[in-house]
Copies of this chain bind each other. A is one copy, B any other.
Amino acid sequence: MELFFLGTSAGVPTRRRNVSALALRPTGQSRWFLFDCGEATQHRILESSLSLFRLERIFITHLHGDHVYGLFGLLASRGMHRCEAPLWVYGPEGLGEMLEAVMRASRLTLPFDLHVVPLLGDETIELEGLRVSTLPLSHSIPSYGFVVEEARRPGRFDPERARGLGIPEGPLFGRLQQGHSVRLPDGRTVHPSQVMGPPRPGKRVAVAGDNDQPGRFEPWGPLDGLVHEATYTQEDFDRLEVKYRHTTARELGIAAERIGVGHLLATHISPRYDSPEREQELVEEIRSHFHGTVTLAYDGLRIEI
């Protein structure tokens, strides 16, 4: 799976980071999915290689403005570009009502079917080759995480075994890799199972909304990738007069170690860390508790999991 970070700031945009949005594209495909849609997400898409025409599903983690105010304009632009492919938008209760109010007041009509699906708890959404499971998180308002699992992938082709069976190198190798049985020049038939390893599990990546209990992902571990907020360092958070139920870098590191995360992608960075030096504080705090790969996400980052 490819992840494109379109916005990685918390609360307000800065000159370097826009508010939350993340694109996920299954490797080798052109269709893609969007997680959260802060204001100006469509502007970031315009600067990327992603096309609104191939956007199939949008998942909104929660209804705070920095995660959803870009949805109205994105829908309007997809419509004005005359994209007719249907679009599904999943999000907490209240999303549909807000969308309707905005569309009614601004007289927005769309040339595509818009399916707004309210999230109500633990659910599983089956997409072609992918399964998305929803996970209620802990924040000041209802917030969700999404676990995206690829279907099992075929096993690896073993060229040694194929040669051992006397199969001539060339087109027959390709046919077997694609799952077809082949007939050899000497009349024997070889089946894929004779030259392919066991099916491999698909990758599993989780994308979290705002959340102060990253441990909620433990039952889903191990995860190949986890995209989760690390809004503050522990020290800064402890000093805040008003606390908004976010995860600190320290808490995220501890949880990721327990979950078993392959690649941890920390995002939703408070504007106070808007310099390379301060960003480094967040990374080091995570690393002192977590021993896997850590990347502090930035706008424009593309990662393959």
Q: What is the interface of chain A, defined by CB distance below 8 A to chain B?
A: 11-15, 18-19, 38-40, 42-43, 46-47, 63-66, 68-70, 72-73, 76-77, 80-81, 94-95, 97-98, 101-102, 104-108, 140-141
Contact = CB atoms under 8 A, between A and B. Distances in A.
A251 B174 CA distance: 64
Contact of A46 (B15, B66, B140): B15
Contact of A106 (B13, B68, B76): B68
A35 to B, nearest CB: 17
A73 B39 contact: yes
A47 to B, nearest CB: 7
9 closest residue pairs by CB, A with B: A101-B101, A98-B105, A39-B73, A40-B40, A65-B76, A12-B77, A94-B105, A69-B73, A65-B106
A193 B77 CA distance: 59
Contacts of A13: 42-43, 46, 77
Contact of A102 (B15, B18, B70, B101): B101
30 contacts: A11-B77, A11-B80, A12-B77, A13-B43, A13-B46, A14-B46, A15-B47, A18-B43, A38-B73, A39-B39, A39-B40, A39-B43, A39-B70, A39-B72, A39-B73, A40-B43, A63-B105, A63-B107, A65-B72, A65-B73, A65-B102, A66-B76, A69-B69, A69-B73, A69-B76, A98-B105, A101-B101, A101-B102, A102-B102, A107-B140
A19 B40 CA distance: 11
Copies per assembly: 2
A13 B72 CA distance: 13
B39 A106 contact: no
Given A11-B80, A39-B39, A69-B76, 17 more contacts: A11-B77, A12-B76, A12-B81, A13-B43, A13-B77, A18-B43, A38-B73, A39-B73, A43-B43, A64-B106, A65-B73, A65-B108, A66-B73, A69-B72, A69-B106, A98-B105, A98-B106
